[in-house]
Structure 1
Amino acid sequence: MIFIILKFLKTLKPLLRKRGFIVFTIFLLTVLFFTYLFSTIEHTDYFTSLYWTIITMATIGYGDVVPNTYTGKILAMIVAFTGIAIYTLFISLLAERVASINIKKFLGLLSVNLKNHIILVGWNETSKEAIRELKIGKPESKIVVIVPHDVREPLLSDLHVIVGDVLSEETLRRASVDHASHVIITLDDDSKTVLLTLLIRKLNRNVKIIAEALSFKNVDFIKSAGADKVILSKGLCATL
Structure 2
Amino acid sequence: MFVLFARLIQSITRRTEVYIGVTALICIFLGALLFAHFEHRSFWQSLYWCITTASTVGYGDIAPTNTIGQVIAIGVMITCIPLFGALFSMMAARIAEAKIRRLVGMEHVGLKRNHVLVLGSSDETLTVIAALKDVSSIVLVADDIDASAVPVNVSYIKGDPRDPNVLAKARPNHAKHAIITGVRDGDILETAIALKEIVKDIPVTVSTRSALASRALQALGINRTLIWQELLGHTLAKSLQAPHAGELLMQMVNSDEFVIDEVPVPREMVGKPFRDVRSAHKEYVLGLAQENEIVLGIRRDPVVQEGSTLLILKPKA
Aligned residue number for residue 114 of structure 1: none
Q: Is the 8 A contact 1:39 1:46 kept in 2?
A: yes
1:239 Cα deviation after fit:
6.1
Q: Distance in 2 between matches of 1:197 and 1:104?
A: 27
- Look up the equivalent residue of 1:86 and give its one-letter code: L
Whether 2:86 is the aligned partner of 1:95: answer no
- Look up the equivalent residue of 1:226 and give its one-letter code: I
Alpha-carbon RMSD across the aligned residues, in angstroms, is 4.3
Could you give the per-residue CA deviations for residues 114-143 of structure 1, whole angstroms, max 9, x where no partner exists?
xxx99334xxxxx5xxx3xxx4xx698246
Whether 2:118 is the aligned partner of 1:119: answer yes
Q: Identify if the C-alpha distance between structure 1 residues 57 and 190 changes in structure 2 by more than 3 Å, giving closer, same or farther.
A: closer
Q: Distance in 2 between matches of 1:73 and 1:17?
A: 34
Aligned residue number for residue 223 of structure 1: 219
Q: Is the 8 A contact 1:35 1:50 kept in 2?
A: yes
1:34 Cα deviation after fit:
0.8
Could you give the per-residue CA deviations for residues 5-43 of structure 1, whole angstroms, max 9, x where no partner exists?
xxxxxxxxx899622211210111111211122123212
Could you give the per-residue CA deviations for residues 27-76 of structure 1, whole angstroms, max 9, x where no partner exists?
11111211122123212232222121112111222222221102212322
Aligned residue number for residue 30 of structure 1: 27
Aligned residue number for residue 105 of structure 2: 107
Q: Identify if the C-alpha distance between structure 1 residues 158 and 35 changes in structure 2 by more than 3 Å, giving closer, same or farther.
A: closer
Q: Is the 8 A contact 2:118 2:140 kept in 1?
A: yes
1:91 Cα deviation after fit:
2.1
Match of 1:85 among 82, 85, 90: 82
Q: Is the 8 A contact 1:186 1:211 kept in 2?
A: no
Structure with more strand by fraction: 2
Structure with more helix by fraction: 1
1:210 Cα deviation after fit:
4.3
Q: Distance in 1 between matches of 2:64 and 2:45?
A: 12
Q: Distance in 1 between matches of 2:72 and 2:49?
A: 11
Question: How many residue pairs were aligned?
Answer: 187
Quick one: percent identity of the two aligned structures?
Answer: 19
Three-state SS of the structure 2 residue aligned to 1:22 is helix
Q: Distance in 1 between matches of 2:202 and 2:230?
A: 19
Q: Identify if the C-alpha distance between structure 1 residues 20 and 194 changes in structure 2 by more than 3 Å, giving closer, same or farther.
A: same
Aligned residue number for residue 170 of structure 1: 171
Q: Distance in 2 between matches of 1:211 and 1:200?
A: 22
Whether 2:127 is the aligned partner of 1:141: answer yes
Aligned residue number for residue 196 of structure 2: 194
Could you give the per-residue CA deviations for residues 66-114 of structure 1, whole angstroms, max 9, x where no partner exists?
2110221232233233332123112211221112211331334256xxx
Three-state SS of the structure 2 residue aligned to 1:119 is strand
